Homo-oligomer: A and B are copies of this chain.
Amino acid sequence: MAKIETFDNPHPNRNYAIRHVAPEFTSVCPRTGQPDFGTIEIEYVAGALCVELKSLKFYLQGFRNEGVFYEDAVNRILDDLVAALSPRTMKVTGSFTPRGGMHSVITAEYPDKS
């Protein structure tokens, strides 16, 4: 995976929301070897650091030829971004295109919603 790069939050004293929507996510189903497609949406309140957009794009492209289940992809993206950014809060949502006539949406949050 490409390294997630950051820049200093220009307004660290304000709890404002940042949302990036990446509709060109693709990975590979570990069971069938077939490609999966979806939209990844990342919403967070930054602490000291913001994610740099180009590195985020390269990081997400790192899943292109990797076998991963939906549930796992979304949780791993959340874990990696939380580790890189130490945000105050973050939510990652993956909306995947239909397979077998069903489509799926996975949503994970930090800190964990209880």
Count of chain A residues with Cβ under 8 Å from any Cβ of B? 48
> Would you call B71 and A10 a contact (CB within 8 A)?
yes
* Given A53-B100, A53-B104, A97-B101, CB of A112 within 8 Å of CB of B14: yes
> Would you call A71 and B112 a contact (CB within 8 A)?
no
Enumerate chain B residues within 8 angstroms of A24, measured Cβ to Cβ: 26, 35, 37, 97, 101-102
Minimum CB–CB distance for A114 against chain B, Å: 6
Enumerate chain B residues within 8 angstroms of A20, measured Cβ to Cβ: 102-104
- A54 — nearest CB in chain B belongs to which residue? B100
Closest 9 pairs (CB-CB, A-B): A16-B108, A19-B105, A11-B75, A24-B101, A17-B107, A22-B102, A57-B100, A10-B72, A24-B37
